[in-house]
């Protein structure tokens, strides 16, 4: 009998395709938990749960929809919105996974900061900002952000008190109109932290029984100085030296212990300031969007296959990256409005090193520019002799695209 995995797949996720393809390659049965029913759900009864991701405390009761839940060997959230629900489902099934309280600490940026502070781990100076209270007293510049959003949504730099007050008003108005991620306790409370000048990097890893398996350090060659922090280019392998890379992994291992995380994928962001690396964010899920395609392992396995094997407790294949550089660009959204076209893709694909372009927003859809949006226009993938060469191919391809937007209103 084939083994079954339960995937928490929010309807807005980019990550369904890669995880479902990985499960097929590994000959795994898939049970889906999603916030909306599939139009083809009647064709596979007993393999679909319709759930309310905002209420993970109800996860155990929803399992009654499944005729034989004991066949499920692992539960995984494919992205941020499903992390809490997946942890609750795994606990209800008696399966391995992060405890709900540990998963919740990665979804609440204030709680993340408190736990890191309790273990005296390097991080920016920070304070919370309650709705209706005066702004906290931190040296400028600062970064103001919501407690529970992803993809840099609502993250704004402020260089003085008036900018900080305006940032608070804008973020709270955005959240009041449309809370895309699952709400966390303290709605209306914001996080304010010092802006750490210097390069930013991201890391990808797996946890098994609390021990870290490093996978990759991503360089971010484009400066992220604000006022908004829309991600653009990620490249591998990193250009950091072995000593600094080892320090990143050491700090990440200490951080996951501080949070009580035990298993599954980990994606984290660091700023490399003058005082050394400082942890900016940590998530108990893999890299978002379509960006996992930037990782090419010598074994031929995909990141999603590694995550599934790790969740099942199976041995992992070789996790060394292939030779050469690889990169992805998350295409920025130039303005809010209705997307009319993305022209120039044929010419962009002719740039040496460019593998493919994926436009993930349908023509005619409404799009939002940073810091309000949580979606990217699409993704460009490229290869090169090293990370900088891949990044240059991405820049050249992006320069050939013409994004036309009909302004809102």
Helix (H) or strand (E) holding 87: helix 83-93
- Which residues are within 8 A (CB) of 262 and not within 5 positions of it... i.e. 6 or more apart? 96, 97, 98, 99, 102, 207, 209, 210
Place of tokens 């679909």: 48
Report the distance separating Cα 153 and Cα 158, nearest Å: 15
Length of the chain in residues, anyone?
Answer: 409
211-239 burial by CB neighbour count: b if 16+ within 10 A, else e? ebebbbbbbbbbebeeebbbbbbbbbbbb
Report the distance separating Cα 58 and Cα 302, nearest Å: 32
Predicted pLDDT at 1: 52
Sequence spans of domains, the chain? 4-104, 125-194, 325-409
Residue 243 in tokens: 């000593």
Topology of 325-409 in CATH? Aldehyde Oxidoreductase; domain 3 (3.90.1170)
Report the distance separating Cα 7 and Cα 83, nearest Å: 11
Report the distance separating Cα 202 and Cα 188, nearest Å: 28
Apex CA 359: angle with CA 320 and CA 25, to 5°? 40
Radius of gyration, CA atoms only, the chain: 21
Neighbour tally for 250: CB within 10 Å: 12
Predicted pLDDT at 408: 78
**Adjacent-strand bridge partners of 234:** 328
Report the distance separating Cα 212 and Cα 248, nearest Å: 12
Report the distance separating Cα 26 and Cα 135, nearest Å: 51
Predicted pLDDT at 178: 67
- Which residues are within 8 A (CB) of 139 and not within 5 positions of it... i.e. 6 or more apart? 125, 194
Could you tell me which of 171, 156, 153, 166 has the C-alpha nearest to residue 333?
Answer: 153
409 residues of the chain, pLDDT tens digit each: 579 999 999 998 999 999 999 999 999 999 999 988 764 444 355 688 999 999 999 999 988 888 888 899 999 999 999 999 999 999 999 998 899 999 999 999 999 999 999 999 999 999 999 999 999 999 999 999 999 888 788 999 999 999 999 999 999 999 888 644 444 444 589 999 999 999 999 999 999 999 999 999 999 999 999 999 988 999 999 999 999 999 999 999 999 999 999 999 999 999 998 889 999 999 999 999 999 999 999 999 999 999 999 999 999 999 999 999 999 999 999 999 999 999 999 999 999 999 999 999 999 999 998 898 888 899 999 999 999 999 999 999 999 999 999 997 6
Q: What are phi and psi of 245, to 5 degrees?
A: -60, -45
* CATH architecture assigned to 125-194: 2-Layer Sandwich (3.30)
Topology of 4-104 in CATH? Rossmann fold (3.40.50)
pLDDT per position as a tens digit, 61-76 = 988 888 888 899 999 9
Helix (H) or strand (E) holding 24: helix 16-25
For the full predicted model, state whether its pTM sits above 0.75: yes
Predicted pLDDT at 38: 60
pLDDT per position as a tens digit, 389-402 = 999 999 999 999 99
Residue 333 in tokens: 């959204």
């Amino acid at each position: 009998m084939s083994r079954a995995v339960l995937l928490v797949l929010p309807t807005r996720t980019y990550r369904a395709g890669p995880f479902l393809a990985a499960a097929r390659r590994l000959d795994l049965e898939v049970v889906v938990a999603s916030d909306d029913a599939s139009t083809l759900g009647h064709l596979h009864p007993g393999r679909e749960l319709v759930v309310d991701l905002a209420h993970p405390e109800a996860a155990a009761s929803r399992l009654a929809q499944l005729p034989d839940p004991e066949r499920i060997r692992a539960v995984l959230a494919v992205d941020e919105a499903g992390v809490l629900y997946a942890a609750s489902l795994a606990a209800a099934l008696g399966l391995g996974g992060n405890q709900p309280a540990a998963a919740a600490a990665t979804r609440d940026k204030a709680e993340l900061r408190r736990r890191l502070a309790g273990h005296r781990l390097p991080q920016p100076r920070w304070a919370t900002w309650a709705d209706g209270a005066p702004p906290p007293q931190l040296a400028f510049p600062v970064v103001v952000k919501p407690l529970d959003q992803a993809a840099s949504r609502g993250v704004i730099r402020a260089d003085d008190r008036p900018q900080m007050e305006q940032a608070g008003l804008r973020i709270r108005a955005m959240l009041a109109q449309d809370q895309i991620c699952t709400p966390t306790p303290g709605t209306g409370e914001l996080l304010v932290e010092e802006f750490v000048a210097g390069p930013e990097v991201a890391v990808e890893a797996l946890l098994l029984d609390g021990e870290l398996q490093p996978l990759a350090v991503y360089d971010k060659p484009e400066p992220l100085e604000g006022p908004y922090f829309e991600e653009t280019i990620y490249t591998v392998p990193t250009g950091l030296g072995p000593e600094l890379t080892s320090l990143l992994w050491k700090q990440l291992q200490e951080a996951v212990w501080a949070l009580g995380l035990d298993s599954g994928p980990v994606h984290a962001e660091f700023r490399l300031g003058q005082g050394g690396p400082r942890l900016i964010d940590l998530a108990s899920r893999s890299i978002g969007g379509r960006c996992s395609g930037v990782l090419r392992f010598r074994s031929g396995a995909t990141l999603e296959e590694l995550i599934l094997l790790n969740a099942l407790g199976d041995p992992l294949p070789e996790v060394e990256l292939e030779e050469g550089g690889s990169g992805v660009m998350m295409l920025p959204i130039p303005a809010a409005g209705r997307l009319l076209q993305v022209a120039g893709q044929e010419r962009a694909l002719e740039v040496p090193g460019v593998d493919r372009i994926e436009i993930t927003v349908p023509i005619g859809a409404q799009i939002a520019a940073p810091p309000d949006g949580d979606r990217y226009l699409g993704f460009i993938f490229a290869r090169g002799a090293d990370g900088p060469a891949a990044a240059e191919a991405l820049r050249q391809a992006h320069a050939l695209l013409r994004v036309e937007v009909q302004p809102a209103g």
